[in-house]
Amino acid sequence: MSTRDAVETALRAWNADELSRRAAAAVDFGFHPEAGPRRPRSTA
């Protein structure tokens, strides 16, 4: 399992636990910031 998959699994389990206790959602899985223009990385 990749690190990304392990982190996603942990976050989803944490979120499910919070929701089962009728607490506010721990993670907003639908959130993503709008991508702005990318700046070139400095090569210096």
The tens digit of pLDDT for each residue in 4-25 reads 899 889 988 988 888 899 987 7
Instruction: List pLDDT tens digits, range 30-44.
Output: 776 676 667 777 766
For residue 36, the 8-state DSSP code is: -
Q: Kindly report the pTM of this predicted structure.
A: 0.56
User: Average pLDDT of the chain?
Assistant: 81
* Distance from C-alpha of 20 to C-alpha of 15, rounded to nearest angstrom: 9
Q: pLDDT value at position 42?
A: 72
Q: Are 18 and 24 spatial neighbours (Cβ–Cβ below 8 Å)?
A: yes
Q: pLDDT value at position 44?
A: 62
In the structure encoding, which two tokens stand for residue 25, read together?
A: 């959602």
Q: pLDDT value at position 6?
A: 93
- Counting Cα atoms < 13 Å in the Cβ hemisphere of 19 gives 10
- Ordered by start, the domain boundaries in the chain are 1-26
